[in-house]
Structure 1
Amino acid sequence: MSASLDPDRPEARPDLRSLPLDHLTALVASLGERPFRARQLLRWLQQKGAASLDELTDVPRALRAALAERTTLTTLERATEQRSVDGTIKWTWRTHDGKLIESVYLPETDRRTLCVSSQAGCAVGCTFCLTGTMGLARNLTPGEIVDQVHRANRRIVELGEGEGPRPLTNLVFMGMGEPLANYRSLKIALDLLLAEDGPNFSHRHVTVSTSGLVPVMRKLGEETPVKLAVSLNATTDAQRDAIMPINRRYPLAQLLDACRSFPVRNGRRITFEYVLLGGVNDSLEDAARLAGLVRGIPTKVNLIPYNANPGLPFHAPAPERVAAFQEALVARNLTAVVRKNRGRDISAACGQLAAEGGPGDPRRAQSLTGLPVAG
C-alpha cells in the first residue's frame, strides 16, 4: 500500500485525511514524535473534522510545520448548496483537481442521513440514472469520501440544524459512483468512519449500495459490518440487460446467489432497491417474479418511483400502479416500502446526481436521444 493511499496518485505526498491509525503511527514515528500523537491527529482529522492544520491547536507547531511540509490534507471546497422545499440539501464539492462530486443531506425527525459519493461520475452506465450518463472521471480517495461527511457535519452545525461535532446519524453510500468498484478506498473510508476515535458511526446506520458487482460483495460482507443494499430494478435478465449493462457480466442468477451467501449479521436483511419505471418493470407479473427471485433471502424491498431526468426516456408509474405493486409484494409476505422521493426540485433524488453545472453534467450537453436537454 502506498504512503498516500491514493491509487490515482501513488507517488503523491500522503493525505492525512486518508490515513488510518497504523499509518499515522508510522508517520509520526518517522518524524521523531511519540506514538500518542497519532491518535491525537486521528481525533482532530476524523472526529472533529479539522479543515486545516491550523485547527490542531494542541499539536506542537513544529509537528504541524513538519506535516505541512511532508503531507497534504484533503478538505473539499463547497462549490454549491441547494435546499429543497422538503428540507433536503444538496452540496456540490470541488476536489483538489477540480472534479465536482455531490452529497445529499436528508433530515428527518428521528435521523439525519447523508448520501455519500464514492466516485466522480460512474462507469456502470445504468440507462435510467443521470450519473450513469457522465462516465467515470476517477475514483475518490478515502480522504475525499470521508471529508464529504466532515464538511456536511460542519455545515449542518453552521446552519443551526444540529449540534457538533457529528450531527449526522446515518450514512448511505448511494451517491455518485459504484462503491464496490472503488473498494480499496471505500474500505479505508468505512474503517475511519466507524472508528471510535473518528466519527464513531454505528455499523447499523451505514449502508453500502451496489449495482451488483458480484465478486466484491462477499468481500464487503466479510471485511466490514455495514449493511448491504442491492440495486435490482428488474426481474428478468432481458429487462436488466437493457437498463443495467452490468447484468450482462453478472446476470441475475449470479447476483442472487451472491446475496444468498452474503454474511448477514444479527438478523439483518439485505435491502433490494427497485426503481419503478412506467411500462418497463412495474407490472404485477414483475412483482410476482421479484418475490420469487428473493425467496430465501432476508429481504426488505425499497420501491422507488422513477425520478424524471431530462433526456432520459423513462417515466414514473401512476401512484395507483405503485400501490398495486407494493400490495402484490406484501401479499407474498415481503416487507416492501415506497421510498419518499426527496429533493426532486433540486435534482437531489435517486438517480439525479450529476454534479450540476460542472463540465461533466449531461444537462449541459446533448441528451442520449440527440435532442437538446431542457431545464
Structure 2
Amino acid sequence: MEYLSPLIGMNLAELESVAAGCGMPRYAARQMADWLYQKRVAKIDDMTNLSKRARATLAEVYCTGREEPLKRVSSADGTVKYLFRGASDRDVEAVMIPDHDRCTLCVSSQAGCRMNCAFCMTGRQGFHGNLSAAQIINQILSVEESESLTNVVFMGMGEPTDNLDAVVRAIEILTATWGLAWSPKRITVSTVGRPDGIRRLLDMTKVHLALSVHSPFGSERADMMPVERAYPVAEVIELLRGHDFAHQRRLSVEYTMMKGKNDDIRHADALARLLRGTDARVNLIRFHPVPGYDEKAPEAGVMTAFRDRLNALGITATIRASRGEDIDAACGMLAGKEKKG
C-alpha cells in the first residue's frame, strides 16, 4: 500500500506548500488548518469548502493522519488510558485524567525512552523511536474527550527534550491561532533535565516546565536516573534560577517518593536547599510499583510529614492524588503488557 503523508503535524507554512503543490490558492492552507485542528475531521473528503477536484488531488498524496486508538481502558476513578500506534512496532500511551473542572491529557513523545530511569517502566522497555508531530497531535485529537480537554502534559512515554523538534512543532499547533489556539499556560512539558533541551524549550515556547528530581543528592539520584551523571540536577537548577517563572510560566518539580529511599526529613531539607530561590512548586508522587524494581510506596503519614516540612521551609509542596491504579497506572505498563501479549 502506498504511503500517504499526514497533514496533521504540519504548520501553516507547510500547509501553504501543500496547497501550492496541489494547485490550490494560498488561502486554502488556512481552510485545511481549520478542518484539521478546529473541526477535527478524519478524512480529506470532509473538507467541503475545498473543491472536489482539489480534494481528489490532495488525497492522492496526503491523508489527514488521524488514527483511532488501538485500545481504551477506563479506571473506576474516571482516568482513561489510551493505546496508540507508536514507532518501530511499539505502541504508546496517552492518559486522560479528569479532576473536577479540569480534563488533562498526558501524551507520549517517544516509543520507549533513552533515559533509562530505574523506576520507570517506559525506560525499562528501551528506546524504539521518536514520535512525529502528527503522532503527538493525533493523541490529542483522537481521544474521546478531545473537545473537553483543558490541559496537556508531555509527561507520558519518552523524554520530550530528546525529541524536541516534534514536541515544539506540536506546541506550535496547539497554541497558534490557525491551530487549536490554546494558551501556552495550558501546556506542561516534563523533563529529566537536559540543559540544551531546556534552553531551547524556554526560548521557543512559553509553556510550563516540570523537572523530574526524585532525590536532592547527586549520588542517590544517579542510581535512579543515569542522566544525573551527565547533567547534575544542581547545575540544572542553577540554569533555571536565571529565568522568571513567577509571571509567564510555572516551574514544578516532580518527586516520586519511595519508602526508606528518598522520603525522610534529611531529603526534605536538602530538597528545600536545592530549590531555594527558584519559585518551584513540588509535586510529591506516590511510587507506583513496576516489575523488576523492588521499591515500595511510603505510608501516607510519611508523605504528609515530607510535604509539611517543605512548606515550613518556604517551598510550596502538594501531594498528587494517585489515579488509575486499577488500569496499570505506571507509565508504560499498558503498552508493555500489550506488546508481550
TM range (shorter): over 0.9
Distance 1:55-1:263 versus aligned 2 partners, 3 A rule: farther
How many Å apart are 1:197 and its aligned residue?
2.5
Q: Are residues 1:260 and 2:210 paired?
A: no
Match of 1:73 in 2: 64
Match of 2:201 among 191, 199, 220: 220
Q: Are residues 1:105 and 2:86 paired?
A: no
Match of 1:302 among 278, 283, 286: 283
How many Å apart are 1:189 and its aligned residue?
0.6
Distance 1:137-1:175 versus aligned 2 partners, 3 A rule: same
Asked whether the 8 Å contact 2:286–2:297 carries over to 1, the reply is: yes
Q: Are residues 1:238 and 2:219 paired?
A: yes
Match of 2:293 among 293, 297, 312: 312
Residues paired across the two proteins, number? 339
Q: Are residues 1:143 and 2:134 paired?
A: yes
Structure 2 residue ranges without an equivalent (≥5) = none
How many Å apart are 1:228 and its aligned residue?
0.4
Separation of aligned partners in 2, 1:213 and 1:233 = 15
How many Å apart are 1:310 and its aligned residue?
2.5
How many Å apart are 1:62 and its aligned residue?
1.3
Residue correspondence of structure 1 range 220-369 to structure 2 within 5 A: 220-264=201-245, 266=247, 268-349=249-330, 351-359=331-339
How many Å apart are 1:72 and its aligned residue?
3.7
Separation of aligned partners in 2, 1:201 and 1:234 = 34
Asked whether the 8 Å contact 1:210–1:231 carries over to 2, the reply is: yes
Match of 1:371 in 2: none
- The one-letter code of the counterpart of 1:77 is E
Asked whether the 8 Å contact 1:271–1:300 carries over to 2, the reply is: yes
- Structure 1 counterpart SS, 2:338: coil
Structure 1 residue ranges without an equivalent (≥5) = 1-11, 157-164, 365-375
Match of 1:127 in 2: 118
Asked whether the 8 Å contact 1:194–1:203 carries over to 2, the reply is: yes
Separation of aligned partners in 2, 1:72 and 1:18 = 12
Given the two structures, how large is their TM-score scaled by the length of structure 2?
A: 0.95
Separation of aligned partners in 2, 1:183 and 1:352 = 20
1:308-356 CA-to-partner distances (Å, cap 9, x unmatched) read 122221110111111110111011011100000110110134x454514
Distance 1:98-1:66 versus aligned 2 partners, 3 A rule: farther
How many Å apart are 1:258 and its aligned residue?
2.1
Asked whether the 8 Å contact 1:299–1:334 carries over to 2, the reply is: yes
Q: Percent identity?
A: 37
Asked whether the 8 Å contact 1:221–1:264 carries over to 2, the reply is: no
Given the two structures, how large is their TM-score scaled by the length of structure 1?
A: 0.86
| Cα RMSD, aligned residues only | 1.8
Distance 1:352-1:78 versus aligned 2 partners, 3 A rule: closer
1:187-212 CA-to-partner distances (Å, cap 9, x unmatched) read 11100011222222221111000011
- Structure 2 counterpart SS, 1:107: strand
- Structure 2 counterpart SS, 1:342: coil
Residue correspondence of structure 1 range 53-64 to structure 2 within 5 A: 53-64=44-55
